[in-house]
Structure 1
């Protein structure tokens, strides 16, 4: 699955925390977050994950997360 999500992650510290957590929990092959984009776009490439798992995980970390349409 390659997922693209809209988030409310705003700082470099938050970005690093979320990427580390996603990479550690799901062994994502690629995980990036664009803080410059107005939607704070999170991109996750992880074959063994589904979009709802990413959304739930990021929300559990305390951030908003939704599939970017």
Structure 2
């Protein structure tokens, strides 16, 4: 399963914290941000995960997100 999110994350420091927290929730996942993309893309590749949990975590950090590809 691969999900791509458009996010409001702009700073690398924020992206690093979010990735660390996501790795705790989805340890087997491949997770990365592309902050050079105009949509500040978050890409998650894993067997299974809850999209709402990911969006809740981003919201906890004060960021918005929207699923682009599923």
Asked if residue 38 in structure 1 is aligned to residue 38 in structure 2, the reply is yes
Aligned to 1:6: 6
Q: CA RMSD in A?
A: 1.5
Under a length normalisation based on structure 2, what TM-score does the superposition of the two structures give?
0.84
Aligned to 1:29: 29
- Report the number of matched residues: 69
Under a length normalisation based on structure 1, what TM-score does the superposition of the two structures give?
0.85
Task: Give unpaired runs (5+ residues) of structure 1.
Answer: none
Deviant stretches of 4+, over 6 Å: none
Asked if residue 63 in structure 1 is aligned to residue 59 in structure 2, the reply is no
